[in-house]
Structure 1
Amino acid sequence: MMRAAYAADPAQSRGRLVSEEESRFRSCFQRDRDRIIHSSAFRRLKHKTQVFVEHEGDYFRTRLTHSIEVAQVARTIAGALGLNVELTEAVALAHDLGHPPFGHTGEEALAALMAPHGGFDHNAQAIRIVTWLERHYAEFDGLNLTWETLEGLAKHNGPVRPPIPWALAEYDARHALELGTRAGGEAQVAAIADDIAYNSHDLQDGLRAGLFTADELARLPLLGDCFAAVDRAHPGLDPYRREHEALRRFFGLLVEDVIDCSRARLDALAPASADDIRMAADPVVAFSPALRRDLGAVRDFLFERMYRAPRVMVMRDEVTAVLCDLFPLFLSRPDLLPPQWRRDVERSKGETALARIVCDYIAGMTDRFALQQHARLCNGAPIAEPGTPPHG
């Protein structure tokens, strides 16, 4: 596949923090992608929530299935725009590594708990995971990813403005990621692929959960035309297939709009290098204004009917209580942490350093592990030696 002049070139990568011999068979961005796939943090996404808590049903998306879907969409868009598919895929697969248990609810809880110690941000935590917490290699901490992949993780949602999350600022001081500029085109693709994936599959999961009906979706912008097209092509189709066909069309509509709009933006900018995209005033990968407006109505519907649905809000309160119990417990009883985490505690100095270790430990938990630990440690059961750690 031909790459454009503005695509990231693995031969011109800015390299890794710790120099390594190049592979004979894989580009540096392919190696990044493969290290992410083989990481412990990526495997844990299997049991981390997307919207519904992981144990609520086998058919609902998890962070793992979501990340795979994002990568698939991102590969398609990157290929159509002449960008580097391997780098795009690496950023897409890693973009949710920093999410704690219980999704955005867990992030909000940890951000509040960590407010006296620099806060918590899942994008910054992803950087902390791939540069420090994945401690498997003999020659370095983390995965030693290329500058381009790290930049994409840090900035895929746009330039990072002050106040910069502490976990990101800490790494940037050692290996500057040019936080004030835009990310390259590959990371911009990963970000919009995330939007496409969650807007599409959250509609499907909400239907399966009974939070709204297909008739309600058919009254929304964009979706109405999709349902109408299915009804014209397949009159009398059974409801399950009708929903799937309509949402499939909605998904394709979003992808095609991004490709068409982004091609027009790239033609207007005429970037000669990846850095031209980084220095551009506006993103080069985007929805058209009309689709962005209509998609806003779909997002408003999801926020009201799904993300703030009564049953979801009840679960939000329950899982917030879990983290609000575990955090102060480990802060006051670091001896309850697994052995390798206790070694970090022994080397730490001060309450903030301890709080960040506890935060790293809890953020790495899966939904089920957090619930199990809470049941064991906070519900009156005898406190014993901790079990298998999430970063083990």
Structure 2
Amino acid sequence: HDLGNPPFGHSGEKAISTFFSEGKGQALQQQVEAEGGRWTDFTCFEGNANAVRLLMHQFKGRRKGGFALTYSTLASIVKYPYSSELSGGKNKFGFFASEEDDYRIIADELGIPCLGEDPVCYTRHPLVYLVEAADDICYQIMDIEDAHKLHLISTEKAKELFLNFFEGERRQRRINN
């Protein structure tokens, strides 16, 4: 689901947002809005929404439907299932205006309920929680690996931290192997 994140993660998102809200990108606001775009998609840039765009968009010379992923797979990466207009300027939203109609179709087909009166604010698909848990686990593992590679922690400390992911008998089996 981090496929759409710019270099430097949240700092990169902030740089893109700032370019459009405070920098030279401001000059594009009228053009974006005239072409049916949503300005908050630019001024509150969100990497997760960009991932949805990358996976759904048909790029020049590529097959129709983008990566042609299942609706469940696409819905599983939409951590914030609403548009930038509903994010309250928090930079957390699930899809750009350009993918809003596509997400509506996905939500309807999968039976994802709307929240409240707004037709573009949904509950999360159940698989989002698994993706989020996997993301947390991966980042913890990568942090330990990075700390070890940078010699911030010893090999023994890295092993100890990795073993903390296991309990009881499973942990003991890992120690014995």
Would the TM-score normalized by the shorter structure come out above 0.5? yes
**Residue of structure 1 equivalent to 2:34:** none
Please state how far the C-alpha of 1:202 moved relative to its aligned partner. 0.8
1:202 aligns with 2:143: yes
- Tell me, yes or no, if structure 1 residue 143 matches structure 2 residue 143: no
Deviation at 1:201, TM superposition (A): 2.0
In the TM superposition, what whole-angstrom CA distance separates every residue of 1:317-369 from its partner, at most 9, and x where no partner exists? Answer: xxxxxxxxxxxxxxxxxxxxxxxxxxxxxxxxxxxxxxxxxxxxxxxxxxxxx
2:67 corresponds to which letter in structure 1? L
Paired residues of 2:48 and 2:94 also in contact (CA < 8 A): no
Q: Contact 1:134 / 1:143 at 8 angstroms: preserved in 2?
A: no
1:172-211 to 2 correspondence within 5 Å?
172-176=100-104, 177=107, 178=112, 179-184=121-126, 186-210=127-151
- Matched with 1:218 is none
Which residue is 1:105 aligned to? 11
Query: Could you tell me which amino acid in structure 2 is paired with residue 125 of structure 1?
Result: N
Could you tell me whether the CA contact under 8 Å between 1:125 and 1:167 is conserved in 2?
Answer: yes
The structure with more radius of gyration: 1
Q: Compared with structure 1, are the counterparts of its residues 251 and 152 closer, same or farther at alpha carbon in structure 2 (3 Å cutoff)? A: same
User: How many aligned positions are there?
Assistant: 129
Shift of 1:183: 1.5
CA contact (8 A) 1:196 1:251 kept: no
Q: Which amino acid aligns with 1:243?
A: K
TM-score by length of 1: 0.29
**Alpha carbons 2:148, 2:158 under 8 Å: kept:** no
Cα RMSD (Å):
2.9
1:153 corresponds to which letter in structure 2? I
Q: 1:198 to 1:110 in 2, by over 3 A?
A: same
The secondary structure found in structure 2 opposite 1:114 is helix
Structure 1 residue 208: Cα displacement: 2.7
String of CA shifts for 1:191-227, please: whole Å, max 9, x gaps. 11111121232133124324x4x4xxxxxxxxxxxxx
Distance of 1:180 and 1:126 partners within structure 2: 18
5+ long unaligned stretches in structure 1 = 1-94, 215-238, 257-392
User: For structure 2, which runs of at least 5 residues remain unmatched after alignment?
Assistant: 27-38, 113-120, 171-177
Identity of aligned residues (%): 28
CA contact (8 A) 1:99 1:125 kept: yes
Distance 1:245 1:168, change over 3 A: same
1:112 Cα deviation after fit: 1.7
Residue type matched to 2:71 in 1? W
Contact 1:160–1:180 (8 Å) recurs in 2: yes
TM-score under structure 2 length normalisation: 0.59
Shift of 1:165: 4.6
Q: Deviations over 1:140-194 (max 9, x none)?
A: 1422322211111113xx554713759534312244135421222x331111111
Deviation per residue, 1:90-144 (Å, 9 max, x gap): xxxxx11101123332222112223354231000000110111544434x14223
Is 2:150 the counterpart of 1:244? Answer: no
> Is 1:129 aligned to 2:62, yes or no?
no
